[in-house]
Amino acid sequence: MIIFDRARKKFGNVDAVKDFSLTIEDKEILGLLGPNGAGKTTLMLMMGTVYRPTGGTITVDGLDVVKQPNEVRKEIGIAFQDPRVDGILGAFDVLNWHLKMTTGLTKEQREKRVEEVLRSLDLWEARNKRTWLMSGGMRKKVEDAKVLCQRPKIAVFDEPTAFLDVPSRLLVWDMIRKLRDGGSTIIVATNMMDEAERLSDRVAIVNLGKLVAAGTPEQLKSTQKGGEVLEVAVESSHGLTADILTQFSEVHNVHVDDNKVVVYLNSGRLLLPKIVETLTEQGFKIGSVHLKEVTLEDVFLTYTGQRLE
Amino acid sequence: MSNLRLVPLIVERDIRILFSDTFLIGIMFANFGIDLFVTAATFGRLIPQSVLHENYFLYIAPGSNFVTAMVAAFQSGRDVWREKYIKDLASYLLTLPAPRRVLALSRIAGGVARSVIATFPGTLVISYLYGILLDPRVFAAFLIVGLFSLGIVGLSISLSAFASSIEVFVTVRSAIQLYLSFLSTLFYRTDVFPSFLVPIVVSNPMTWAVEAFRSLPHAQGLIGPISVLVIPSLVFAALGMASYLWYARL
C-alpha cells in the first residue's frame, strides 16, 4: 500500500505538489490523470526517492521514503516519461543491466525474461541497435520494458504509451494489466483520457499539484449530475452565459468555451430542441449539436475547468 | 555488505559505455601516441642527451601516459555531468536500489577502471622501455597509474557536481589540465622552472606521479614510489564522493 499524506513539494517559490493525500491499494492500477505540469512526475519522483518532499509523508508498504529510501527503492521500478536509457547501448544490454541491478535473477533467467519482453514488444530484431538510433516509439518501448522485465512490487509508468502507435499502445496496456495480475501495484501517470479510463482500476485527477478527485472511472462519471452531456458548437460564444441554460431544471451545469457550450443535463433528447431554440432566439448561430453520455473528459472538465489536449 | 555487490555492476556499465565509444578510445590512444612518439621524438632531437643527462624519450614517456589517464579520468566527470543535465539519466540511476554512497563509490571506481584500461597499452609499453615489464615492479606501475587516476576522477566528479554548464566544466578542466601538464615535471626537471614556480611544481600531483613512475627502475621496494600518491589521491577521491553525494542527495 502506498500512502501520500499531505505530501508537498516546492521548487523555489513554485508549489509543484500541494497537500496531496491519497492511498493506493495493493495490486490495483491507479491512473494519475492530469495535464502537463500538474505535478504527476514530481509525485512519482518523490515516491521514487529522487526528490525529498517539502512537507507531509509518503510511505511505501510502511516504509518512509525519506527515512528508509534504500528499502523503498528495492520495491519500486519506474518507467520514465522521457526514456532514460544509455543511448550508446542496445536494448538488450540496457534491460539486462537493469535486471542485474534490480533483481537477483541468474544470467539465464535474466536473458530469458529480457528476450520474452523484447519479443512481446516486437523489439527482438532490434535488440542490439543502439537506442539513440531508435525511433521515439521504440525508445519508449525500451523504457517501458525495463519495468515490465523487472516486475517490481510497485511499478510506475509515466505516460507509458506516449509516441506509440495504436497497436503498440494496446500491447503495452495488455502487458501492464498482466503485470498487475502477477501481483504488482501499478501507477500510470497519463494525460490521455482513454488510457486512464481503459487501463485504470481507479483514477486520481491531479491539477496544479493538487488531488481534485479520485475513484473508479464509473464512480467519477456518476458524480456528474444528469449523466448526459450536450455539446453545442456555436459560431461565437461572446455574450453567452450559463444562466441562459440553467433556467431549465434538467440542466445541472454549463461550461462555455470559445466556440463550444458543454451542458450537463438529463432528459437530453427531450430538452435538446428547447436548448437549440433558446440559443437561436438569443442570436447565437449553432454549428452542430452532439448529445452523449458522460465521459472521464467531462469529469475532468468539471473538476479542473479545463480540457486535456 | 550485500549492497557492495552492486559496485562491480555499476563499474561494468561505465566500462561498457567506454568500449561502446570506439571513437573516444581511438582519440585517447592517438593522444598517447602523439604525446609519446611524436613529441618525445622531436623534443629528443631539440634537447640532446648531453644537456639533459638522460634520454628525453624515456623521460617524457610516463608523463604522456598520465596525460592519457587524465583525459580518461575527466571523461568520468563529464559523463556524470551529462547524465544530469543533458540525458537526465541521473534520476534513473538514483531510483535504482543502490544506496547513494554505493553509487558514489561505484562511479569513482568505474572512472578509475576506465582510466587504467585506457592507459593499459601505454603502461605496458613504458614498463617495457623501463625494463620492468617482466618484474613485480610492473604491478607498481599500474598501481601508480590507478592512484593518479583515482585522484583525477575524484576531482572531475567534484567539478561535474558544481559546474552549472558544460562551458564551465570544460574551462575549469582545461585549467586543471594545463596546471597538471605544464607546471609539473612532466616535460622538464624542476631546476628549469623559475624559482617562484618551484613550490607549485613540486606540489603538483602530476609531478609526484611521474617521479614515482620514473623511480621504478631504481626502486629497492615498491612502497616508496607508490606511497607519495596515496594521500592526495584518497583526498581527491573523498572530495569526489562527497560531491557526488551532495549532487545525488534526496
> Where are chain A's structural domains?
2-216, 225-293
Tell me the per-residue pLDDT of A74-103, one tens digit each, with 9 for 90 and over.
999 999 998 888 888 899 999 999 999 999
The alpha carbon of residue B12 is apart from the nearest alpha carbon of chain A, in Å, by: 9
Range of weakest confidence among A174-188, B207-221, B227-241: B207-221
Residue contact A88–B17, C-beta within 8 A:
yes
The minimal CB distance from A86 to the residues B17, B94, B98 is found for B17
> What's the distance, Cα to Cα, between the start and end of chain A in Å?
31
Rounded Cα gap, residues A151 and A170, in angstroms:
19
CA closest to B249 among chain A residues: A50
Residue type, B7: V
One-letter amino acid at B73 equals: A
Which residue in B has a C-alpha nearest to residue A100's C-alpha? B9
Residue A80 carries which DSSP code?
A: -
Class of domain A2-216: alpha beta
Q: A97 vs B250: CB contact, 8 Å cut-off? A: no
pLDDT at position B79 is 87
What are the residues whose beta carbons fall under 8 Å from the beta carbon of B31, sequence distance 6 or more? B67, B68, B71
Q: Which residues of chain A are within 8 Å of residue B249 when distances are taken between CB atoms?
A: 52
Residue pointed to by grid coordinates 432528459:
A267
Would the CB atoms of B99 and A130 count as touching at under 8 Å?
no
pLDDT at A177: 96
Nearest-Cα distance to chain A for B94, in Å, is 6
Work out the minimum CA distance from B234 to partner chain A, whole angstroms: 26
pLDDT tens-digit series, residues A136-173? 999 999 999 999 999 999 999 999 999 899 999 999 99
The pLDDT tens digits for A245-285 are 888 888 888 888 878 888 888 777 888 888 999 999 888 88
pLDDT, residue B219, reads 76
Whether residue A63 lies within 8 A of chain B, CB to CB, comes out as no
Alpha-carbon gap: B122 to the closest alpha carbon of chain A (Å):
26
What is the mean pLDDT of the segment spanning A177-202?
93
Amino acid A246: pLDDT: 87
- Would you give the DSSP letter of residue A28? -
Contacts of A93 in chain B (CB under 8 A): 16
pLDDT for res B243: 94
CB pairs under 8 A between A and B: 61
* Chain A positions in Cβ-Cβ contact with residue B247 (cut-off 8 Å): none
| A196 in Cβ contact with A203 (< 8 Å) | yes
The per-residue DSSP string of A141-159 comes to: HHHHHHHHHH--SEEEEES
Is the CB of B98 less than 8 angstroms away from the CB of A52?
Answer: no
In A26-156, alpha helices (H): 40-47, 69-75, 91-102, 107-120, 136-150
For residue A2, what are the β-bridge partners?
A24, A60
Least CB–CB distance from B96: residue in A51, A73, A130: A73
DSSP B35: I
Helix (H) or strand (E) holding B12: helix B6-20
Cβ distance A66 to A53 under 8 Å?
A: yes
Residue numbers in B near A66 (CB within 8 A)? 250
Q: Residue A223: is its pLDDT beyond 90?
A: no
> Which secondary-structure segment (H or E) carries A210?
strand A210-215
B1: pLDDT strictly greater than 60: no
What pLDDT band is residue A224 in, cutting at 50, 70 and 90? confident
Nearest to B156 by CA among B247, B23, B24, B249: B247
Task: Quote the pLDDT of residue A9.
Answer: 96
Does A302 or A115 have the greater pLDDT score?
A115
Residue B6 clears pLDDT 70, i.e. is over it: yes
Mean pLDDT within A176-189: 96
Name the minimum distance, in Å, from the CA of B93 to any CA of chain A.
9
Average pLDDT over residues B108-113: 95
Reported confidence tier of residue A308, pLDDT bands at 50, 70, 90: low
B52 or A85, higher pLDDT: A85
Tell me the chain B residues in contact with residue A87 when contact means C-beta distances shorter than 8 Å.
87
Cβ of B96 and A84 within 8 Å?
Answer: no
Considering CB atoms only, which of A48, A80, A89 is closest to B16? Answer: A89
Torsion of the alpha carbons at A144, A146, A151 and A152, rounded to the nearest 10 = -100
Residue B225, φ and ψ in degrees, nearest 5: -65, -30
**Residue B51 pLDDT:** 67
d(CA A85, CA A93): 10
d(C-alpha B114, C-alpha B61), whole Å: 20
Q: Helix, strand or coil for residue A173? A: helix
Mean pLDDT, rounded, of chain B: 87
What is each CA distance from A291 to A103, A197, A254, A269, A270, in whole angstroms?
51, 20, 14, 8, 11
Task: Please list every residue in chain A whose beta carbon sits closer than 8 Å to the beta carbon of residue B95.
Answer: 48-50, 73, 76, 78
Q: Give the model's pLDDT for residue B124.
A: 93
Which comes out higher in pLDDT, residue A124 or B49?
A: A124
Cβ within 8 Å, pair A86-B9: no
Q: Is A69 on the interface with B (CB under 8 A)?
A: yes
Q: What SS3 string covers B149-160?
A: HHHHHHHHHHHH
Q: Which helix (H) or strand (E) holds B229?
A: helix B223-247
Tell me the CATH number for domain A225-293. Answer: 3.30.70.100
Cβ–Cβ under 8 Å, residues A54 and A133: no
Confidence of residue B153 (pLDDT cuts 50, 70, 90): very high
Confidence of residue B64 (pLDDT cuts 50, 70, 90): confident
Q: Are A190 and A197 in contact (CB under 8 A)?
A: no
What are the pLDDT digits (tens) for A31-54?
A: 999 888 899 999 999 999 999 999
Categorize the per-residue pLDDT at B221 as very low, low, confident or very high, splitting at 50, 70 and 90. low
Long-range CB pairs of A113-121, under 8 A, 24+ apart, other chains included? A113/A149, A114/A145, A114/A149, A117/A145, A117/A148, A117/A149, A117/A175, A118/A91, A118/A92, A118/A145, A120/A171, A120/A175, A121/A145, A121/A148, A121/A168, A121/A171, A121/A172, A121/A175
CB contact under 8 A, B89 and A86: yes
- Residue B37's pLDDT is 80
CA distance B5 to chain A (A): 9
pLDDT at residue B52, as a whole number: 67
Q: Is residue A65 pLDDT above 90, yes or no?
A: yes
Residue B49 has pLDDT above 80, yes or no: no
Over 80: is that where the pLDDT of B101 sits?
yes
Which candidate, A145, A162, A176, A4, places its Cα nearest to that of A79? A145
Whether the per-residue pLDDT at A225 is higher than 60: the answer is: yes
Give the β-pairing of A286-293 and A228-234. antiparallel
**Residue A58: left (phi > 0), alpha (psi -120 to 50), or beta?**
beta
A156 and A45 in contact (C-beta within 8 Å)? no
Q: What is the mean pLDDT of chain A?
A: 91
- What is the C-alpha to C-alpha distance for residues A270 and A250, in angstroms, rounded to an integer? 10
